[in-house]
């Protein structure tokens, strides 16, 4: 029970941080926030989290910082990360290395095509790809949690190529 | 801390809340050669002017829904006999019905009833079956389904599957207002009962062999966990909560083991868990995706999805461990398999360039047949008598349930009034 309470506080932090940084975010950022910590509102712990920010001039809650980009997109049935996204992940890794007390959850997602449990596995594979790059750049495995939602939490509703493209993603949730 | 307790309480409250929305069934593709039958409204003797349940209508819908029968519309019934001596066979012969069902519903006491029915062969003028069942108001529909089962088995030689249930998942709302619900309903979609509601995804229900428990995946703690829940009482137990994926539970035929997918050792692999003591046995060991295990009815093998060959395909592995053998070769995507109760057929999600349909493969001949024509069909599940497959499909912007006969000739749609319905699993006959 004690451990549960601990992880709950982390979730509460995440929700508060997300709340701070959401306004004026890019579209995918807004959608991501909808998925987060609906039950969490632990305002009391917010200031502690917001204090641990700056890395090389980047702040976690600055909408203009590259760290505000927290969604990596994928091709169909693929877990490959583009060069541009690799660069972005290096920036995130830098932040996480500079702030070893910060924790990140990588949420793997897929589009709706194919069977649901296979998509859970595919979302997991995508999250693992992101994890690998973060770890190769010095992030401690203890800072990272992976969860795959498969096709269960679409960022975009709908059954078009456009919706599917937005749904094949890994969300970086601080 | 108190918040967690509150959430748990809320979850408890949400378990076992009945819902009002019933599934409605619409036959979308009929077949030729259905057996013509007449089901006469049952006679009624009771305190109120009208019977509490229209037994004949339930039986008619059951028989029509099987695709094997075509019931005479009510308006074409020439007379309304309720006992054998009132039946004039020559009248029914003229209507070209092969078989006739009649009966009587009597109120015998406070909320107690007796249902009597008789089935006749019209051309031979012979009584084929008949029975009388004492029952409560609550079980009247169940008795009607039981009568449908008797009629079906008498006339087709196959066991009926009307007195069974389906479990399925619904989602309503979007984004953070999404609610996921796990429900159990009668096989005709009536009497839907919520057994779990959550703000986080619910997935992959699997019935125990005695149809009394359901295993499923819940993300209620923001991570995938496997629970088993008693359907009648709602009491449940967390079975698997390892690091990473805890997915795709499948109950063994003997009820003692659960096949499941875990990624605790790095990537998704198939395991078998002893439900009694939690002991785990790992079955697969490959760097690829291995998931969606299902038991063959003899309990000797497990069929699963793997992309070890480059794309998702179906494989079989001995349940005690050993070499995996590839079963599917047609199409670039085959996943989410179910095995027919006789162990002879494999149903799966089949992708061949143009979307995803439900296909059935004969395990002996290897012959594959695509049964459906949707774009996003998934989650096939055999009826316990092997005659139908229920599955999830898209209809406009919604997910609905459909059922198709195993020969692909007969199809019907089951739709909720609102929201998305998916992951149907047909219950076993139970005990």
Query: What's the ipTM?
Result: 0.89
Please say whether the beta carbons of B216 and B226 come within 8 A.
Answer: yes
- CATH number of this structure's domain B32-156, picked from the four choices 3.30.530.20, 3.40.50.720, 3.40.50.10070, 3.40.50.150: 3.40.50.10070
Q: How would you class B286 by CB atoms within 10 Å of its CB: exposed for 0-12, middle for 13-18, buried for 19 or more?
A: middle
Write the residue in B3, B174, B261 that is nearest to A117 by C-beta.
B261
Residues in chain A within 8 Å Cβ distance of B176: 34-36, 38
Q: Measured in Å, how far apart are chain B's first and last C-alpha atoms?
A: 42
Pairwise CB contact (< 8 Å): B379 & A11: no
For B88-142, the pLDDT digits (tens) are 999 999 999 999 999 999 999 988 999 999 999 999 999 999 999 999 999 999 9
* Gap between the Cα atoms of A38 and B370, Å rounded: 42
Averaged over B314-339, what is the pLDDT?
97
Q: What is the 3-state secondary structure (H, E, C) of B118-137?
A: EEEECCCCEEEEEEEEEEEH
List b or e across B349-358, with b for residues whose CB sees 16 or more CB atoms inside 10 angstroms: bbbeeeebbb
Pairwise CB contact (< 8 Å): B3 & A122: no
Question: Cα angle at A69 between A142 and B263, to 5 degrees?
Answer: 40
pLDDT value of residue B175: 80
B215 alpha carbon, distance to own chain's centre = 15
* Gap between the Cα atoms of B317 and B286, Å rounded: 13
pLDDT band at A27 (very low <50, low <70, confident <90, very high): very low
Tell me if residue A160 falls in helix, strand or coil.
coil
Pairwise CB contact (< 8 Å): B176 & A35: yes
For B340-351, the pLDDT digits (tens) are 999 999 999 999
Tokens, residue B203: 């997935």
The answer to whether A22 contacts chain B (CB < 8 Å) is: no
For B185-195, the pLDDT digits (tens) are 999 888 899 99
Percentage of chain B lying above the pLDDT 90 cut: 81
Task: Please say if the pLDDT value at position B241 is more than 90.
Answer: yes
Quote the mean pLDDT of chain B: 91
Nearest chain A Cα distance for residue B292, angstroms:
6
Residues in chain B within 8 Å Cβ distance of A124: 244-245, 263, 267-268
Please say whether the beta carbons of B301 and B317 come within 8 A.
Answer: yes
* Gap between the Cα atoms of A20 and A49, Å rounded: 11
CATH entry 2.120.10.30 includes domain B2-21+164-426: yes
- CATH number of this structure's domain A2-173, picked from the four choices 3.40.50.620, 3.30.1330.60, 3.30.420.40, 3.20.20.70: 3.30.1330.60
Select the more confidently predicted residue: B396 or B208: B208
Percentage of chain B lying above the pLDDT 70 cut: 91
For B26-64, the pLDDT digits (tens) are 666 655 678 999 999 999 999 999 999 999 999 999 999
Cβ pairs A/B, distance under 8 A: 111
Of residues A133, A64, A140, A132, the one with CA closest to residue A99: A140
* Domain assignments of chain A as residue spans, ordered by start: 2-173
Sign, CA dihedral B144-B149-B154-B156, equals: positive
To which residue do tokens 């409250």 refer?
B13
pLDDT value of residue B174: 83
Task: Please say if the pLDDT value at position B281 is more than 70.
Answer: yes
What are the residue ranges of CATH 3.40.50.10070 in chain B? 32-156
The answer to whether B392 contacts chain A (CB < 8 Å) is: no
To which residue do tokens 């670039």 refer?
B332
What are the residue ranges of CATH 2.120.10.30 in chain B? 2-21+164-426
Please say whether the beta carbons of A128 and A122 come within 8 A.
Answer: no
- DSSP codes, B304-317: EEE-TTSS-EEEEE
pLDDT value of residue B30: 56
């Amino acid at each position: 029970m004690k451990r549960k309470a601990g992880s709950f506080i982390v979730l509460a932090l995440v929700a508060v941080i997300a709340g701070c940084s959401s306004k004026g975010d890019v579209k995918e950022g807004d959608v991501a926030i909808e998925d987060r910590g609906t039950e969490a509102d632990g305002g009391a712990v917010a200031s502690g989290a917001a204090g641990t920010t700056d890395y090389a001039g980047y702040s976690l809650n600055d909408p203009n910082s590259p760290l505000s980009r927290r969604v990596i997109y994928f091709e169909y049935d693929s877990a490959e990360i583009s060069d541009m996204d690799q660069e972005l992940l290096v920036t995130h890794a830098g932040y996480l290395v500079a702030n070893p007390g910060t924790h990140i959850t990588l949420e793997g997602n897929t589009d709706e095509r194919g069977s649901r449990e296979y998509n859970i596995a595919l979302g997991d594979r995508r999250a693992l790809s992101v994890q690998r790059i973060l770890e190769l750049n010095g992030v401690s495995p203890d800072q990272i949690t992976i969860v795959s939602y498969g096709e269960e939490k679409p960022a975009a509703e709908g059954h078009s190529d456009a919706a599917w493209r937005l749904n094949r993603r890994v969300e970086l949730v601080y | 801390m108190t918040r967690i307790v509150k959430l748990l309480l809320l979850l408890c409250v949400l378990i076992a809340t009945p819902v009002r929305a019933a599934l409605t069934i619409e036959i979308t593709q009929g077949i030729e050669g259905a057996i013509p039958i007449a089901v006469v409204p049952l006679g009624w003797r009771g305190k109120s002017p009208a019977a509490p349940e229209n037994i004949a209508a339930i039986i008619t819908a059951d028989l029509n829904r099987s695709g094997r029968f075509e019931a005479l519309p009510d308006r074409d019934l020439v007379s309304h006999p309720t006992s054998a001596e009132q039946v004039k066979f020559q009248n029914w012969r003229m209507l070209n019905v092969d078989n006739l069902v009649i009966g009587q519903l009597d109120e015998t006491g406070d909320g107690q009833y007796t249902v009597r029915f008789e089935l006749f062969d019209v051309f031979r003028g012979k009584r084929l079956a008949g029975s009388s069942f004492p029952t409560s108001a609550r079980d009247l529909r169940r008795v009607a389904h039981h009568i449908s089962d008797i009629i079906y088995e008498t006339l087709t030689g196959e066991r009926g599957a009307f007195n069974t249930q389906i479990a399925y998942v619904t989602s309503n709302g979007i984004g953070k207002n999404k609610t996921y619900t796990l429900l159990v309903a009668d096989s005709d979609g009536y009497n839907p009962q919520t057994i779990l509601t959550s703000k986080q995804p619910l997935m992959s229900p699997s019935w125990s062999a005695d149809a009394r428990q359901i295993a499923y995946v819940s993300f209620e703690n923001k991570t995938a966990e496997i629970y088993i829940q008693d359907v009648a009482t709602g009491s449940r137990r967390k079975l698997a909560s390892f690091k990473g994926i805890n997915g795709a539970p499948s109950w063994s035929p003997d009820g003692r083991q659960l096949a499941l997918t875990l990624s605790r050792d790095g990537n998704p692999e198939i395991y078998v868990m002893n439900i009694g003591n939690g002991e785990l046995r790992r079955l697969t060991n490959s760097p690829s995706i291995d998931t969606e295990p299902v038991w063959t009815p003899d309990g000797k093998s497990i069929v699963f999805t793997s992309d070890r060959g480059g794309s998702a395909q179906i494989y079989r592995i001995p349940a005690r461990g050993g070499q995996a053998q590839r079963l599917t070769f047609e199409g670039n995507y085959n996943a989410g398999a179910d095995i027919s109760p006789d162990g002879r057929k494999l149903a799966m999600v089949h992708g061949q360039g143009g979307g995803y349909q439900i296909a059935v493969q004969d395990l002996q001949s290897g012959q594959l047949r695509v049964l459906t024509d949707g774009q996003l069909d998934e989650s096939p599940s055999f009826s316990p008598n092997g005659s139908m497959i229920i599955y999830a499909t898209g209809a406009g912007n919604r997910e609905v349930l459909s059922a198709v006969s195993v020969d692909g000739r007969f199809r019907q749609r089951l739709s909720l009034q609102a929201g998305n319905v998916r992951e149907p699993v047909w219950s076993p006959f139970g005990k």
